Amino acid sequence: MPPVHRRRWRISLTCPPLIALLALLFAVQGRAAPILEGDRAIPLLGNAGMVVTSHPLASEAALKVLKEDGNAMDAAVTAGFVLAVVQPRSGNIGGGGFMMLSSDRENRVVAIDYREKAPAAATADMFLDQSGAVDTRLSRFSLQSAGVPGTVAGLLLALERYGTIDRERALAPAIALAKNGFIVPPRFTQGFEHLRKHLQRDKTTQALFYKADGSAYQPGEKFMQPDLARTLQRIAEQGHKGFYAGETARMITDQMQAGGGLITRQDLANYQALVREPIKGRYRGYDIYSMPPPSSGGVHIVQILKLMEPFPVARFGHNSARTIHLMAEAMKLAYADRATHLGDSDFVKVPLKGLLSDRYANQRRLLINPNRATPSSAIQAGEAPAYESSETTHYSIADKFGNVVSNTYTLNFSYGSGISVAEAGFLLNNQMDDFSAKPGAANAYGLIGSDNNRIEAGKRMLSSMSPTIVRYKGKNLLVTGTPGGSRIITTTLQVIMNVLDHGLNIQEAVNAPRIHHQWLPDTLRIETGISPDTIERLEALGHRLEAKAAMGASQSIYIDDEGIMQGAADPRRGTSSAMGLWR
Ligand code: DON
């Protein structure tokens, strides 16, 4: 029997006139909202390239690279720099992230870690006030909240090792958009209006992103960033040194010295992005590749899938009370482990093998009561076997050469710390808040951490970012990931399960209402769209439900066995944009 995900959706794709019509209508065009075919949301199609990002200008620039025979890595680097210009809330050069690359031809998947690092002067108690409480203003909105940025190193590493175009070409669209400006969409205005008071506390941020009278740029108006254009130009000309040394490094460290920040020239000079071995797991015959530490994403996605594998969730039904209950219980177990075991594995021992083992999943699954929600207070992290040897943004890209890229990067909060580097024209992250400032104290996403994630000089803070690639029989099948803080892991998990278990096409899988449980707080968060009687049943099982804002923005691609690339832009973001190439 073919896997569930193939059975239903192929019906539409085996109809050539439909493909031709869709190709005609949508090839090389973007659209934010999914269209409907009959009663189904359908993805955008292409067979020679697909780009799905959170901004049409980024999708357009990346698609042009693919059209000119660049590969997915070239396009991903181009998109990364363009987002840093057109979407300052999360696109960045002052933050960090993770990129997964997979090549069918070389049968190779690699993970690039360009997470920020704690500066050398950082200490475990740097965010504690005199009474020993966490000072969240300091950990989130000060120069000390910034980790050493990794984005430029990560994107350049991806380009140099795996790309084909030169740096100037990769950066040219970003530089042009910064220099000549672009027309701002409503979402740009909304973001800056919504956070005006907060963002205008930093005078550089105010001068960079608001008009002279302090008002936000309005939809339809042009927004230019000459300082950022010059910084990008230095990167184009000098590469890594254009950011981590010379003028840009001077601008960053001048700012740090003037405002009590910790990042030094040495910290910048020492920063390196790293190529890491992805977390790999098997789920119902599919190979799941996702981010290893310092992200917790890959470990917990694979762990939850393993916990779920014996349950016939397809039969129980998509978003039925039974399925949601089991998923929530599995999520609690994984997030309890996250709080205790996860941290930067270059600094602390993370029992990866144990956490990912079948034996451990089988043992932990026994704690799931199919008829009753187990209170989080009754759940602790497991003793993972210690084996003898022992507003973030996501985009997905596929090229005609069999490469795919899944990239998530962030400043942490929307606009990071809110503080910009004078003269250099970009916002700094506040990623230091992702460390556990004190054991047991929650970070901004309510995540608890242990000693494994305490602040240490040069360490990378734990992340949930989970760029993920699913392969089937040695071929790229699904490229996915999302922003959303602690919800990143569960959102990515649901997109995977919606396709693999429930046979939804990728657009439906992305659109479907989501749920989330992170152990603590002990609440099952749901999006609009879970039916009232499902909610009633879940409450009867003992869950405390909380309906809150939409979770995540999963820009995803599915590639079927005829090589048709299906792009799904997440309707939860007004600027989400899928663009496909047709040959
Ligand atoms: O690395 C992490 O897990 C967080 N800093 C991600 C933040 C995030 O996704 C915010 N966006 N919605």
Q: Residue 10: pLDDT above 90?
A: no
Contact by Cβ (8 Å): 396, 570: no
In the structure encoding, which two tokens stand for residue 328, read together? 């929530």
Nearest CA-CA partner of 97 in 479, 523, 488, 387? 488
| pLDDT > 90: percent of the chain | 88
Model pLDDT, residue 521: 93
Q: Residue 282: pLDDT above 90?
A: yes
Q: Does 290 fall in a domain?
A: yes
| Cα gap 377→522, rounded to integer Å | 8
Write the burial class of residue 241 (CB in 10 Å: 0-12 exposed, 13-18 middle, 19+ buried): middle
| Cα gap 316→33, rounded to integer Å | 29
Confidence of residue 300 (pLDDT cuts 50, 70, 90): very high
Q: Residue 287: pLDDT above 70?
A: yes
Pocket test for ligand 1, best of 87, 488, 514, 555 (most atoms within 8 A of CB): 488
C-beta of 113 in contact with ligand 1 (< 6 A): no
Q: Residue 527: pLDDT above 90?
A: yes
Q: Does 339 fall in a domain?
A: yes
DSSP secondary structure, 451-496, as one string: GGGB--TTPBPPB----EEEEETTEEEEEE----TTHHHHHHHHHH
Q: Does 380 fall in a domain?
A: yes
CA torsion sign, 106 to 293 to 389 to 347? positive
Q: Does 431 fall in a domain?
A: no
Instruction: Return the half-sphere exposure (C-beta side, CA atoms, 13 A cut-off) of residue 440.
Output: 2
C-beta of 412 in contact with ligand 1 (< 6 A): yes
Confidence of residue 40 (pLDDT cuts 50, 70, 90): confident
C-beta of 434 in contact with ligand 1 (< 6 A): yes
Model pLDDT, residue 385: 67
Model pLDDT, residue 255: 96
Q: Residue 541: pLDDT above 60?
A: yes
Give the Å distances, CA to CA, from 262 to 154, 252, 267, 495.
22, 10, 9, 39
Model pLDDT, residue 20: 42
| Strand arrangement of the beta sheet that strand 96-103 belongs to | 274-276, 108-114, 96-103, 403-410, 393-399, 49-53, 577-581
C-beta of 486 in contact with ligand 1 (< 6 A): no
> Which residues have a Cβ under 8 Å from the Cβ of 169 and sit 6 or more positions away?
65, 70, 74
Pocket test for ligand 1, best of 296, 300, 392 (most atoms within 8 A of CB): 392
Write the burial class of residue 277 (CB in 10 Å: 0-12 exposed, 13-18 middle, 19+ buried): exposed
As for how many domains the chain has, the answer is 1
How far from the centroid of its chain's Cα atoms is residue 498's Cα? 18
Q: 353 by DSSP, 3-state: which?
A: helix
> Which residues have a Cβ under 8 Å from the Cβ of 57 and sit 6 or more positions away?
82, 86, 177, 182
| Cα gap 79→346, rounded to integer Å | 29
**Angle subtended at Cα 205 by Cα 203 and Cα 211, rounded to the nearest 5 degrees:** 90
Q: Does 319 fall in a domain?
A: yes
- Candidate from 30-39, 177-186, 415-424, 530-539 with smallest mean pLDDT: 30-39
CA torsion sign, 92 to 94 to 97 to 99? positive
Cα of 434 from ligand 1 centre, angstroms = 9
- Amino acid at the residue 542: G
| Cα gap 551→556, rounded to integer Å | 15
C-beta of 461 in contact with ligand 1 (< 6 A): no
Cα of 410 from ligand 1 centre, angstroms = 6
| Cα gap 404→402, rounded to integer Å | 7
- pLDDT tens column, 148-173: 999 999 999 999 999 999 999 999 99
Confidence of residue 12 (pLDDT cuts 50, 70, 90): very low
Mean pLDDT score across all residues of the chain: 93
Q: Residue 516: pLDDT above 60?
A: yes
Question: Scanning the structure block, which residue is given the tokens 């991806």?
Answer: 158
Cα of 385 from ligand 1 centre, angstroms = 29
C-beta of 554 in contact with ligand 1 (< 6 A): no
Model pLDDT, residue 387: 54
In the structure encoding, which two tokens stand for residue 21, read together? 């019509």
C-beta of 483 in contact with ligand 1 (< 6 A): yes
Q: Residue 28: pLDDT above 60?
A: no
| Cα gap 161→550, rounded to integer Å | 37
Q: Residue 383: pLDDT above 90?
A: no
Active site residue 392: yes
Segment holding 465, helix H or strand E: none
Model pLDDT, residue 443: 87
Q: Does 338 fall in a domain?
A: yes
| pTM for this model (two decimals) | 0.93
How many other CB atoms are found less than 10 A from the CB of residue 329?
Answer: 25
Q: Which of 392, 482, 534, 575 is catalytic?
A: 392
What is the rounded average pLDDT of the residues 572-576? 94
Contact by Cβ (8 Å): 568, 578: yes
Q: Residue 19: pLDDT above 80?
A: no
Nearest CA-CA partner of 507 in 28, 32, 75? 32
What is the rounded average pLDDT of the residues 339-357? 96
C-beta of 430 in contact with ligand 1 (< 6 A): no
Pocket test for ligand 1, best of 394, 445, 554, 572 (most atoms within 8 A of CB): 445
> Which residues have a Cβ under 8 Å from the Cβ of 366 and sit 6 or more positions away?
none
Model pLDDT, residue 450: 87
Confidence of residue 17 (pLDDT cuts 50, 70, 90): very low
Task: Tell me which residue has its CA closest to atom 8 in ligand 1.
Answer: 485
Instruction: Return the half-sphere exposure (C-beta side, CA atoms, 13 A cut-off) of residue 415.
Output: 25
- Can you give the CATH number for the domain in which 477 is found? 1.10.246.130
443 vs 229: which has the higher pLDDT: 229
Q: Does 260 fall in a domain?
A: no
Confidence of residue 3 (pLDDT cuts 50, 70, 90): low
How many other CB atoms are found less than 10 A from the CB of residue 251?
Answer: 18
C-beta of 408 in contact with ligand 1 (< 6 A): no
What is the rounded average pLDDT of the residues 324-348? 97
What is the rounded average pLDDT of the residues 134-148? 97
List, in sequence order, every residue forming a beta bridge with 199; answer none if it has no partner. none
Pocket test for ligand 1, best of 410, 415, 432, 466 (most atoms within 8 A of CB): 410
Q: Residue 499: pLDDT above 80?
A: yes
Model pLDDT, residue 449: 86
Domain that holds residue 322: 277-391+468-553
Q: Residue 203: pLDDT above 50?
A: yes
Cα of 208 from ligand 1 centre, angstroms = 24
Q: Does 193 fall in a domain?
A: no
Confidence of residue 46 (pLDDT cuts 50, 70, 90): very high
C-beta of 467 in contact with ligand 1 (< 6 A): no
- Amino acid at the residue 92: N
Atom of ligand 1 nearest to the CA of 391: 11
In the structure encoding, which two tokens stand for residue 100, read together? 């997964």
Task: Tell me which residue has its CA closest to atom 1 in ligand 1.
Answer: 463
